[in-house]
Homo-oligomer: A and B are copies of this chain.
């Protein structure tokens, strides 16, 4: 059974006229007659009743017309789908992200924008730590991870996505609360609340680095697993913290967010993929990531 036979059959069954069908198929009538004969022979079923003057469908022939149409449509749809996948217009992307990424609005905005331009791409999002993301990337469970550098991993490629300043988070009753900006070293004597290194690569390290740059070694009073918990500890007066700008949206009465005048420390987020894993789909997605990043950098 070949599709040519099905195409020929559909033409004949729709026209109910061999010569017209042949015209439509851009072949001559005799080969078309032979094709239909061969099709019927192959099926062992009479599809057409020819009275040498009028062609009509038998009951199986009517059914087969529908089947043939459906098959040809499915073939066409499959070809179209695979082509769109090849152009990166269709497919599925599984994305991992650290919980800290979820607080910003950069990723949601990226995804909304991307999906508008790529309606045939389905996307699944999973929250996982940086380490879990690396494992998931290697096992193919996700194709892209969103996490905060630096990474110690080789064999990955990294597309910078967002870059935002760390800001100080103080209890509402802290003497410096309410200032527009303060130097980091003003917090030299305060205990610090941080997220542990394993949870968000760069979180703890960046804080340490910033403090050292400001000329003091911070006292880590408490470690909290999630950013809301950090804010809770600060509000309860356990100490101060440095958090990405985006955490401001979690502010409440008990805490005050204050910009740092010096040193200005930036925390970055990047899209990460396994090196050498560049499908057109990923390329398109990461292109969007890079495009947004560079547009922000310029603006």
- Chain A positions within 8 Å of B, measured between CB atoms, are 1-4, 43-47, 58-60, 63-64, 67-68, 70-71, 74-75, 77-79, 81-83, 85-86, 91, 279, 281
Cα of A181 to Cα of B94 in the assembled complex, Å: 85
Q: Are A43 and B82 in contact (CB under 8 A)?
A: yes
Q: Which of B43, B78, B279 contacts A83 (CB 8 A)?
A: B43
Q: Are B1 and A59 in contact (CB under 8 A)?
A: no
* A46 / chain B contacts, CB cutoff of 8 Å: 86
Q: Are B85 and A59 in contact (CB under 8 A)?
A: yes
Q: Are B82 and A78 in contact (CB under 8 A)?
A: no
- What is the count of identical protomers in the complex? 2
Residue of B nearest to A70 (CB): B74
Q: Are A83 and B44 in contact (CB under 8 A)?
A: yes
Q: Are B70 and A82 in contact (CB under 8 A)?
A: no
Main DSSP-derived SS at the A contact region: helix
* A60 / chain B contacts, CB cutoff of 8 Å: 82-83, 85-86, 91
* A43 / chain B contacts, CB cutoff of 8 Å: 79, 82-83, 86
Cα of A68 to Cα of B68 in the assembled complex, Å: 15
* A63 / chain B contacts, CB cutoff of 8 Å: 81-82, 85, 91
Q: List 9 A-B contacts (CB under 8 A).
A: A1-B79, A43-B79, A43-B82, A44-B86, A45-B85, A58-B279, A60-B86, A64-B82, A68-B78
Q: Are B91 and A59 in contact (CB under 8 A)?
A: yes
* A4 / chain B contacts, CB cutoff of 8 Å: 2
Q: How far is the CB of A64 from chain B (nearest CB, A)?
A: 5
Q: How far is the CB of A187 from chain B (nearest CB, A)?
A: 49
Given the contacts A43-B82, A81-B67, A1 and B279 also touching, CB distance less than 8 Å: no
Cα of A67 to Cα of B78 in the assembled complex, Å: 6
* A47 / chain B contacts, CB cutoff of 8 Å: 82
Q: How far is the CB of A46 from chain B (nearest CB, A)?
A: 7
